[in-house]
Structure 1
Amino acid sequence: MRVPERYQVNTSSFSFYWSKGLGVELLRKLPTKLSIAAADQFTPLLYQFDNSCDQLVEQLHLKIGFHQGQQLLKDALAGKPIDAAYEHVLLNFLNTLDLNPSWLDWDKIEQGIGLSQRSGLSGLIVLRDYVLMGGYESSAINKPLIFTGALKKGAVKRLTETVTFWVDITGDDALKKGNIGIEAILLTRCIHSYARLNILKHGHWQTEKWGIPLNTWDMLATNLGFSLVYLTGLKRMKFNVLKNEVEGLFHVWKFIGTLLGIPLQLLPDTEEQAIEALYYWTMTQQSGDQDSLALAKSLMEEPIKAAYPTNKWGRKLMREIHLYYNHYLLGDYSCSLLGLKKTVLGKIAYVNILKNKKANRMVTDSLWRQQQIDKGRKVHEGVKQIYLKYN
């Protein structure tokens, strides 16, 4: 069995997370102790990739251009007439999709979307300062970012794309056929395939070191970031999360995961299954390297280089606030490995956490919850428009 060099027992960041960080509480939820050796069964996933979408991109995007290929996919999803030369290629791909599988429960989807929406500004903070920044602690999963020029493009662009994607897929009915969420997911899936094919064709990618770029196991880890890590972050931000919201959140990302090309059997149904999956992936990751530090620094400085807030002082304050959340969510140990300095001024952000703690006492009040959902969704849409307008 082939095993890339990246596959090794983690002894720093993730190891600390599971032994002394937030991961301790997660492991206590499991009935039995996990063995790292069990992760060996997943190593083939480091060489597995989304073959069906790669075929689409090879036969469409790489022939007529990326933007034209994406537009044709949009047209096909909207039911518009397609150039006969590419209709067969698009239909072959679209026929692999199941937009309403038998296992899908729309009531659960609604609960998961409701949690995402009511997270408001705190949810976006968790995504940025915990999920995204924490992902840089693994050197291997971030190599495709380096090969596609993420550092040169800057964190502002990536953050804009991530926020737009997340807001689009968490809207009301966004995941139903013909709506914006489905389009966003499938366009993103094509971006992954386009990046993978170009990295393998034009870059100096070392498969024996890192496996296939954007491989199935790394895609699963990203999915867990948006579900389990996001959920853990919300709880750390003093959100009181209901049991049906937890079930709904994993159901949402199970559905999204399948549409992104992740095999159904890998996607967790429960928090416990997700904890196990995340443990195996994180504990067999190489620690961060110089690329990790560079990506973390780029994200740390993103508020300074962004065009909003419009004044220099406001942008500096935003940087300090995000640094505070980095330390609050990731912990000082991880932040030190990523080169993230401590902040004094940013501590004013704790006021938001106190507000969450007070407000979430009312989470079982259905009227209050719906008000928070409506309010949070407006915040998400507003932040998305700020990113699109100013960046």
Structure 2
Amino acid sequence: MTSATRTPTAFTYWENRQSPRIQRAEALFERVFRSSPFPSDDAAREFCESLFLGDTVAENFVDEVYAADPTGTRALLDRALAHGIDSLPDVPESMRILFDEFETEPDWLDTDLVERGAAVWRRWGTMLFTVAGGITLEMYTEAAVATPLSLAGGYAGDNAMRRFLETCKFWIDTSEPGALSRIGSEGRATAMKVRVMHVAVRRKVDGHPEWDREKWGYPISQGYQMLTLLGGSTVPALALRLVGLQTTADEIRALLHFQKYMGHLLGVAVSNFPTTIADSLRMTAMVSAARSYDAGPHGKELIESFPAGFAPRPEQRGLARLRARYNYGIHGAYTALFMSPVTRSDYTMPRAFPWVLIILLRFPLLTAIELSRRFLPGVAPVVEKVAVAQRLRWYRDQMNGREAEFDANGALRR
């Protein structure tokens, strides 16, 4: 089996499909489940093409408007997000095109399904942060993912915690009730700011001496953005069963629709975004088979910086220090659950023991809460309310008075 389409040379899916190990696994899967573990060749080729594509509409806006006056344009952007594009005089054409796309609801949109998906994220509370953080570390082994982040510096070294908390803010804002469907909401505003930030980073990384487009495709490409969206749905839903959170099949399908609409707002081409659990797992299997583990020291820095960001800081005392020590230990344990043991063993990570015992001891309680939520009237709203309050409290404690910026103006660190 070969690819007739353009594929980044480090995305070794077509080559690895020919390996005896993958072929044996694929044959066994097909005998047991009567279907392939991988997407169709046409779908795989389309995904490979998407690794060379960016967000043309937002890129035109950044190139023509934002780059000329970042501070002034950010103010215009904030006003348009809060009051609508028509509240601005003399709107640049590229900005109007961007907002026309952003504010037009696609034909496939089911707002009820979006709200059900957002409710799942709210119910997961801080567990969303831990599972998404742990799963993301797996992809930091790939230079196509790690190099832009390493060059930008946001998720590396001392900045890792700050940028992770900005990502948590994104998850919080976009999953509040009505956050994606209400014009002027903070969730939609955050999505647009992240979209512009992606373009700014992409522009700086593309053409950098350390970036090889033939090897890795386009920085923060359409394909890898789609994988990020998938990383917020099926895989974490299944992974969280390890800690007691039992997300149903219907809830996972709602999550996929929620993520598909999120992708639309972020400028991701989602016409072929998986809508079924099976298709989303096939896409995940394809990417897993394509990994080349070529991130080297950049990936190592990113992976090891994540749990280290939770470690107690010298200035912390008393309760703040105890809280930090707990967060450091428990996140180390979560990486042991949500990362491949083989991947984790290649890096210097916090010890999982004894913190993993807390997760094991909490499992029966969380399972009981999940069963009560599903089968006892009136329990579900209480569970969601507690989880939302917990995630906000955790976020504010970690931010310690700071605000998320989603800054698109920072220079590359090298």
Question: Do they fold alike, i.e. is TM over 0.5?
Answer: yes
Q: Residue 98 and residue 82 in structure 1: after superposition, are their counterparts in 2 closer, same or farther (change >3 A)?
A: closer
Unaligned runs of 5+ in 2: 403-414
Partner of 1:292: 299
1:231 counterpart = 2:242: no
Separation in structure 1 between the aligned mates of residue 121 and residue 278 of structure 2, nearest angstrom = 20
**Is the CA contact 1:308–1:386 (under 8 Å) kept in the aligned structure 2?**
no
Letter in 1 for 2:135: V
**Is the CA contact 2:148–2:220 (under 8 Å) kept in the aligned structure 1?**
yes
1:138 counterpart = 2:142: yes
Q: Residue 304 and residue 390 in structure 1: after superposition, are their counterparts in 2 closer, same or farther (change >3 A)?
A: farther
Separation in structure 2 between the aligned mates of residue 122 and residue 299 of structure 1, nearest angstrom = 16
**Is the CA contact 1:175–1:182 (under 8 Å) kept in the aligned structure 2?**
yes
1:285 CA drift (Å): 2.2
**Is the CA contact 2:146–2:299 (under 8 Å) kept in the aligned structure 1?**
yes
Letter in 1 for 2:105: N
Partner of 2:343: 334
Instruction: Give the alignment's Cα RMSD to 1 decimal.
Output: 3.1
Separation in structure 2 between the aligned mates of residue 31 and residue 182 of structure 1, nearest angstrom = 41
SS in 1 for 2:171: helix
1:37 CA drift (Å): 8.6
1:360 counterpart = 2:366: no
Aligned length: 381
Using CA pairs below 8 Å that are at least 6 residues apart, which structure has the higher relative contact order? 1
1:104 counterpart = 2:109: yes
SS in 2 for 1:144: helix
Alignment of 1:211-360 (within 5 A): 211-287=217-293, 288-304=295-311, 311-350=320-359, 351-360=361-370
Runs of 4+ in 1 over 4 A off after TM superposition: 26-31, 305-311
Letter in 2 for 1:382: R
1:166 CA drift (Å): 0.3
1:138 CA drift (Å): 2.6
1:170 counterpart = 2:175: yes
Separation in structure 2 between the aligned mates of residue 29 and residue 237 of structure 1, nearest angstrom = 28
**Is the CA contact 1:108–1:252 (under 8 Å) kept in the aligned structure 2?**
yes
Q: Residue 388 and residue 312 in structure 1: after superposition, are their counterparts in 2 closer, same or farther (change >3 A)?
A: closer
Partner of 1:6: 10
**Is the CA contact 2:135–2:338 (under 8 Å) kept in the aligned structure 1?**
no
SS in 1 for 2:109: coil
1:103 CA drift (Å): 1.9
Letter in 2 for 1:375: V
Letter in 2 for 1:297: E
Q: Residue 203 and residue 53 in structure 1: after superposition, are their counterparts in 2 closer, same or farther (change >3 A)?
A: farther
1:202 CA drift (Å): 5.2
Partner of 1:47: 52
1:118 CA drift (Å): 1.2
Letter in 2 for 1:328: L
Letter in 2 for 1:295: L
Per residue, is there more helix in 1 or in 2?
A: 1
- Per-residue Cα deviation, 1:288-333 (whole angstroms, up to 9, x for no partner): 4221111111112011266878644542332221111111222422
Partner of 1:77: 81
- Quick one: percent identity of the two aligned structures? 19
Q: Residue 153 and residue 303 in structure 1: after superposition, are their counterparts in 2 closer, same or farther (change >3 A)?
A: closer
**Is the CA contact 2:311–2:328 (under 8 Å) kept in the aligned structure 1?**
yes
Q: Residue 48 and residue 270 in structure 1: after superposition, are their counterparts in 2 closer, same or farther (change >3 A)?
A: same
Give the TM-score normalised by the residue count of structure 2. 0.83
Q: Residue 201 and residue 4 in structure 1: after superposition, are their counterparts in 2 closer, same or farther (change >3 A)?
A: closer
Choose 360-369 or 213-222, whichever is displaced more.
360-369
Separation in structure 2 between the aligned mates of residue 297 and residue 164 of structure 1, nearest angstrom = 22
Partner of 1:23: none
Q: Residue 153 and residue 320 in structure 1: after superposition, are their counterparts in 2 closer, same or farther (change >3 A)?
A: closer
**Is the CA contact 1:111–1:244 (under 8 Å) kept in the aligned structure 2?**
no
Separation in structure 2 between the aligned mates of residue 302 and residue 283 of structure 1, nearest angstrom = 30
Q: Residue 311 and residue 372 in structure 1: after superposition, are their counterparts in 2 closer, same or farther (change >3 A)?
A: closer
Give the TM-score normalised by the residue count of structure 1. 0.87
Unaligned runs of 5+ in 1: 21-25
1:33 counterpart = 2:36: yes
Letter in 1 for 2:380: R
- Per-residue Cα deviation, 1:32-66 (whole angstroms, up to 9, x for no partner): 1235893344221111111111011111221102x
1:210 counterpart = 2:216: yes
